[in-house]
């Protein structure tokens, strides 16, 4: 089942990836950190918050440094951190896919959950009192980052922003895939971006699910999620227009499903997650045993890891492939997580590597499997599954395969 | 792409549209802010849901339930929502409480409710739909992008009926920050779309496209792409909102690209300006095609012939997000 199940022209190819997170500001820096098993979690130093002591995956560049890195010299006050992170990752992805000069129809499906909230927090007094300069109002909503990216790359058609909580960018990838399949674009830049905010930190804190010392996914002693920030973008192309030498891998299957169960919690039996994984397998024309690695959603909360773990057991039975959550490296980057973990899954495929689940201490008594805890550098992978589950029961699963 | 057929609509707006009355003659009395005429939600929402839901959720679930009711109870295979500001009032509440409390002792409820996909998720929970569920939050193109997502989904075997909605509630927070204020509005409009025609007198969406700062001739290019010569358009529905700068954009397009014989209609004086006002426009035009005429309060310029078959919806938000939707009657 290694070959593309669809007629060749319907293959969805990935020709560029870009990422910025607590691990670094390029695919190379990300791979280096993963290989060295270096976590990006640390006390918060850049965001102004009273919750600085709670470890998070913060990108250790100020907005000014990000602006400099992007070579933005004018109108510097009109960029939110969400947009800057997005621009950094989108630029790397576009550069890698090298579309310069060719006349391809390009669209953009971005995603975010916090949008302009970071900017809003920084200027809260002026905004709440109504004294803010009116030119900044367009920076507050979800569309801003996508439009800044569109502006930079001259993208004018079918630009959208998906927002389905923690599965946002996985769902952005799915929308982009359908744009290619339906011939609406030759190339779609897909992904997501979220800056760390007081809003998210305090929100997760109010739910009492923030880990005080760094997340431990799939661990009996897990004590919550560690938040992060960052952006990741992928370039999707059809076989008809992709240059063969640029092809990194295929997006071979995907699923977007809903639990219709609870606003924030996932079904404890993992039915919703299992539904999502099964649908993705079906859309790829693959069997569970074809999956060689699962990059789990694995947030480190009591509920997620139990429900996702049970879903994996349900779908994979006695043949559970290596599983790890890489949120111990990056933190949970919310809207960016699906795309960031897609990039990490693609790195695993490209480099035949399995990335360990950091800080693992004790198996969960409810589960029959334990996560991958060592780095493996010679793992020939054919198909990798990546899960993203969000508030509102918004579940998504993606499958990446060797070209 | 194959067209999508409109099975039913459910619209809560400043007009009496919830009762499927599209005469659009509610007296808005020149008010600067038009608020939705809300139905009695009992019977639309479960009593517990009714007690716990924020206003935007009631608007969303109410309109979605009405749409399903109008389709004879037919359940969708997917739910897609477009919302410019989503649960902005809950979001604002949580942000304020962070500032005021100094990040201490916060209630999680407004945080939970503020997730942008709350409406789509709660509609799914109400209808128990466990399949595709998506939310587009892209300012003035949120609803039209949701519509595009819907059309793409309907090309696939497993999706026969998709429930798609556009929803935004009035936000005083944002309104206060606007420099130039058009008549502000709000609304929740849901549509059950199908890949097959429901019978006679069916209305179909044959094309949707959204644009970001497009070149001046984007409408002409779009019509060419759709192989739809401008002279075949019987009506053009415009998002005119009364602000000179915004309306000048429509004016230029009218003078340059639109056929002189076509009927021109407008709707933002009826529903107000909001990021998903396109959902009101789609419901208005659908009912006009079903009825054979646009309601008088929406007509800017009558058509030269009484024919009403092909309709173009053109909306833009601050000359930044533009969208085009082609609608065809039977």
The residue of chain A nearest to residue B215, with distances taken between CA atoms, is A156
Using a CB-CB distance cutoff of 8 angstroms, which residues of chain B are in contact with residue A178? Answer: 149, 152-153
pLDDT at residue B137 tops 70: yes
Q: What is the DSSP letter of A354?
A: B
Helix (H, G, I), strand (E, B) or coil at A251: strand
Specify the pLDDT at position A98: 82
pLDDT in tens, B268-313: 999 999 999 999 999 999 999 999 999 999 999 999 988 999 999 9
CB B312 within 8 A of CB B233: yes
Please indicate whether residue A262 is annotated as part of the active site. no
Domains and CATH numbers, chain A: 10-246 (3.40.47.10), 251-401 (3.40.47.10)
| Band of pLDDT at residue B2, cut at 50, 70 and 90 | very high
Catalytic residue among A120, A275, A297, A383: A297
Domain ranges in chain B with CATH number 3.40.47.10: 4-194, 204-328
Catalytic residue status for A318: no
Mutate to test the interface with A, among B81, B130, B154, B222 (most CBs of A within 10 A): B130
Is residue A153 scored above 60 in pLDDT? yes
User: B133 vs A394: CB contact, 8 Å cut-off?
Assistant: yes
Q: Which class is B204-328 in CATH?
A: alpha beta
Residue B192 to residues B77, B81, B151, B180, Cα–Cα distance (Å): 10, 12, 12, 35
Closest CA to B123 of B83, B155, B85: B83
**Considering only CB atoms, which chain A residues are within 8 Å of B53?**
none
| Chain position carrying tokens 């006695």 | A318
Terminal Cα-to-Cα distance of chain B (whole angstroms) = 18
Sort residue A367 into left (φ over 0), alpha (ψ -120 to 50) or beta: beta
pTM: 0.97
- Interchain contact, B84 vs A141, CB within 8 Å: yes
Q: Mean pLDDT throughout A80-103? A: 89
Chains A and B: how many Cβ contacts under 8 Å?
Answer: 204
Q: What stretch of H or E contains B31?
A: none
Which residues sit opposite B210 in a β-bridge? B323
Angle between helices A337-351 and A27-35 (to 10 degrees): 70
Q: How far apart are CA A329 and CA B182, in angstroms?
A: 47
Among A166, A215, A249, A275, the one annotated catalytic:
A166
CB distance A156–B177 less than 8 Å? Answer: no
ipTM of the complex: 0.97
Give A201-217 pLDDT, tens digit per residue. 999 999 999 999 999 99
The structure tokens listed for A150 are 């569109």
Query: Considering only the top CATH level, what class is B4-194?
Result: alpha beta
Active site residue A319: no
The closest of A183, A101, A116 to A146, measured between CA atoms, is A116
- Which residues are CB-contacts of A101 (< 8 A; sequence separation ≥ 6)? none
């Amino acid at each position: 089942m290694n070959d593309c199940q669809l007629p060749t022209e319907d293959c969805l190819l990935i020709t560029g990836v870009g990422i910025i997170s607590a691990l670094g500001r390029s695919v190379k820096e990300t791979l280096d950190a993963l290989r060295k098993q270096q976590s990006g979690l640390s006390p918060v130093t850049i965001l102004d918050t009273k919750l600085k002591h709670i470890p998070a995956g913060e990108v250790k560049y100020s907005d000014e440094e990000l602006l400099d890195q992007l070579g933005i010299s004018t109108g510097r006050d009109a960029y939110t951190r969400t947009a800057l992170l997005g621009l950094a990752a989108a630029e790397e992805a576009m550069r890698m896919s090298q579309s310069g000069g060719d006349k391809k129809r390009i669209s953009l499906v971005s995603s975010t959950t916090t949008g302009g909230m970071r900017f809003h927090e920084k200027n809260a007094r002026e905004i709440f009192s109504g004294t803010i300069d009116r030119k900044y109002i367009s920076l507050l909503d979800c569309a801003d980052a996508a439009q800044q990216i569109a502006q930079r790359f001259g993208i004018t058609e079918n630009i959208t922003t998906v927002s389905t909580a923690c599965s946002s960018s996985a769902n952005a990838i799915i929308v982009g895939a359908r744009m290619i399949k339906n011939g609406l674009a030759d190339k779609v830049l897909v992904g997501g971006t979220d800056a760390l905010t007081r809003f998210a930190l305090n929100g997760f804190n109010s739910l009492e699910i923030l880990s005080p010392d760094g997340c431990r996914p799939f661990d009996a002693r897990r004590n919550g999620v560690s938040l992060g920030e960052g952006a990741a973008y992928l370039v999707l192309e059809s076989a008809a227009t992709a240059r063969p030498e640029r092809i990194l891998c295929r997006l071979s299957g995907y699923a977007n499903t809903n639990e219709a169960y609870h606003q924030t919690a996932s079904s404890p039996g993992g039915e919703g997650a299992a539904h999502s994984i099964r649908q993705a397998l079906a859309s790829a024309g693959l069997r569970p045993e074809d999956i060689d690695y699962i990059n789990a959603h694995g947030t480190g909360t009591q509920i997620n890891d139990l429900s996702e773990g049970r879903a994996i057991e349900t779908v994979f039975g006695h043949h559970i492939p290596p599983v790890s959550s890489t949120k111990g490296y990056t933190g949970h980057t919310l809207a960016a997580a699906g795309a960031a973990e897609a990039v990490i899954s693609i790195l695993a495929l490209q480099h035949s590597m399995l990335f360990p689940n950091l800080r693992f201490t004790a198996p969960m008594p409810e589960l029959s499997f334990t996560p991958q805890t060592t780095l493996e550098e010679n793992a020939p992978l054919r198909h990798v599954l990546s899960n993203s589950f969000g508030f509102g029961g918004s579940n998504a699963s993606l499958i990446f395969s060797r070209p | 792409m194959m067209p999508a057929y409109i099975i039913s609509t459910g619209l809560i707006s400043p007009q009496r549209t919830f009762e499927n009355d599209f005469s659009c003659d509610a007296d808005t009395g020149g008010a600067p802010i038009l608020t939705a005429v809300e139905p009695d939600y009992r019977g639309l929402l479960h009593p517990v849901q009714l007690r716990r839901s924020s206003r935007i959720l009631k608007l969303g679930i109410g309109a979605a339930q009405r749409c399903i009711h109008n389709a004879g109870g037919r359940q969708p295979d997917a739910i897609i929502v477009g919302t410019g500001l989503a649960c902005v009032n809950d979001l604002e509440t949580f942000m304020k409480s962070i500032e005021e409390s100094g990040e201490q002792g916060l209630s999680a409820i407004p945080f939970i409710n503020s997730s942008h996909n709350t409406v789509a998720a709660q509609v799914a929970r109400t209808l128990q739909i466990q399949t595709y569920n998506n939310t587009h939050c892209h300012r003035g193109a949120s609803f039209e992008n949701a519509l595009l997502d819907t059309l793409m989904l309907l090309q696939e075997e497993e999706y026969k009926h998709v429930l798609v909605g556009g929803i935004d509630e009035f936000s005083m927070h944002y309104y206060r920050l606007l420099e130039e204020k058009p008549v502000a509005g709000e609304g929740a409009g849901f549509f059950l779309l199908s890949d097959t025609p429901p019978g006679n007198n069916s209305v179909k969406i044959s094309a949707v496209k959204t644009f970001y700062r497009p070149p001046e001739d984007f409408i002409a290019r779009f019509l060419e792409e759709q192989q739809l010569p401008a002279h075949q358009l019987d009506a053009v529905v415009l998002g005119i909102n009364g602000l000179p700068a915004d309306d000048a954009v429509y004016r230029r397009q009218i003078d340059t690209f639109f056929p002189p014989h076509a009927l021109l209609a407008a709707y933002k004086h009826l529903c107000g300006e909001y990021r998903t006002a396109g959902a009101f426009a789609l419901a208005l035009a659908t009912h006009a095609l079903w009825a054979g005429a646009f309601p008088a309060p929406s007509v800017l310029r009558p058509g030269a012939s009484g024919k009403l078959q092909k309709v173009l919806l053109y909306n833009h938000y601050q000359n930044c997000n533009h969208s085009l939707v082609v609608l065809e009657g039977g």
